Amino acid sequence: MKDCLKSLYDAQGFLTAVPIINPKEALAHRSILEAVEAERGPMHYQFKIHTAMNSPFKLATLPQLLDVIEQLIGPNILLYNTTYIIKEAHTESHVSWHQDLTYWGLDSDAQVSVWLALSEASEASGCMHMIPNSHINGQQKHHTTEDANNVLLSGQTVQGVNANESVVVSLTAGQASFHHGWTLHCSKPNVSDDRRIGLNIQYINPVVKQLKQQQDSAILVRGVDDYGHFQTDQPALSNFDKKAWLRQQSLHTKLKRIQGDNQ
């Protein structure tokens, strides 16, 4: 099973429908998110949300999830970022064809992104589509586009992608997909009656360096960090701690500058 996951990931650039938690647990985490939203407003695309809320930190450090990450990037694991990506029912919000690593400023692809479904992510609710094997040739040219409904910060888009080659990455609540930073992927609007809620979790191997900014940060969640390239983020201990929220806002702004700056 172990070698099987890694070789499938290496071959196609992603894994899909990996069971991580059961639907009841997914619903419990969704309910926490919705309680926070009721008090603080929308939580879509808030970076490093695990430094403000304990629920995403708990999810990002689940041993069964880290066991898969370990197979993909090795035993030493930094938690770099977590972000809820939410599409409300019957909205135009979408994500254009892109590769994650393009604007992150990292010097290495020793990295993996997880998308953990907290509600059904079906074709109708706007799940991701991925192009198998597209990670093999590294970075492709991205164009900045203006589209208020594109979730991506700069509307970054790879043009000319043959959508006929894509795989629909549908997930039930509690399942996750895993994708490489050069895998081409996109997602379409949510035409279903429910919200589509995913927790995007980015992990890196400590060997990775940030080239765009001196002081980037992460949390060692397994193994050892023999490099010290990243300062240490503080994980949230609860979901409603005011000081933690203030810290998260400043981390959010910093990371938004890094990931939205396409120079």
How far from each other are the two terminal CA atoms of the chain, in whole angstroms? 41
Token representation of residue 162: 């043959």
The rounded distance, in Å, linking the Cα atoms of 141 and 146 is: 17
187 lies in the binding site for ligand AKG (CB under 6 A) = yes
Toward ligand AKG, which CB reaches closer, 103 or 244?
A: 103
Q: Shortest Cβ distance from residue 82 to ligand AKG (Å)?
A: 11
Closest approach of ligand AKG to the CB of residue 117, in Å? 10
Based on CB atoms, which residue is closest to ligand AKG, 34 or 241?
Answer: 34
How far is Cα 93 from Cα 19, in angstroms, rounded to an integer?
Answer: 26
Instruction: Please tell me whether residue 128 binds ligand AKG under the rule CB under 6 A.
Output: yes
**Least distance from ligand AKG to the Cβ atom of residue 59, Å:** 14
Contact flag: residue 115 with ligand AKG (CB under 6 A): yes
- Residue whose CB is less far from ligand AKG, 56 or 198: 198
Q: Is 85 in the site for ligand AKG (CB under 6 A)?
A: yes
Question: Binding of ligand AKG at residue 173 (CB under 6 A)?
Answer: no
Strands 128-130, 217-222: pairing is: unpaired
Q: CB of 82 within 8 A of CB of 202?
A: yes
CB of 250 to ligand AKG, least distance (A): 23
Residues 90-109 that bind ligand AKG (CB under 6 A): 95, 100
Q: Between 63-73 and 2-12, two packed helices, what is the crossing angle to 10 degrees?
A: 60
- Does residue 198 bind ligand AKG (CB under 6 A)? yes
The least distance separating ligand AKG from the CB of residue 226, rounded to whole angstroms, comes to: 28
Residue (104 or 244) nearer to ligand AKG, CB: 104
* Distance of closest approach, residue 5 Cβ to ligand AKG, in angstroms: 19
Q: Which residue, 116 or 219, is less far from ligand AKG as judged by CB?
A: 116
Strand order in the sheet with 77-87: 14-19, 175-179, 111-117, 196-204, 77-87, 217-222, 231-232
Per DSSP, 91 falls in state: B
Within 200-259, the residues that bind ligand AKG by CB under 6 A are: 200
Pairing relation of β-strands 231-232 and 217-222? parallel
Token pair of 65 as six digits: 């999830």
What does the alpha-carbon distance between residue 72 and residue 7 come to, in Å, rounded to a whole number?
Answer: 9
Amino acid letter, 89: A
Residue 60 CA neighbour count, 13 Å, CB half: 33
CB of 95 to ligand AKG, least distance (A): 4
Spatial separation of the C-alpha atoms in residues 205 and 159, rounded to whole Å: 30
Show the binding pattern over residues 6-45: x = contacts ligand AKG (CB under 6 A), - = does not.
----------------------------------------
Binding site for ligand AKG (CB under 6 A): 85, 95, 100, 113, 115, 128, 185, 187, 198, 200
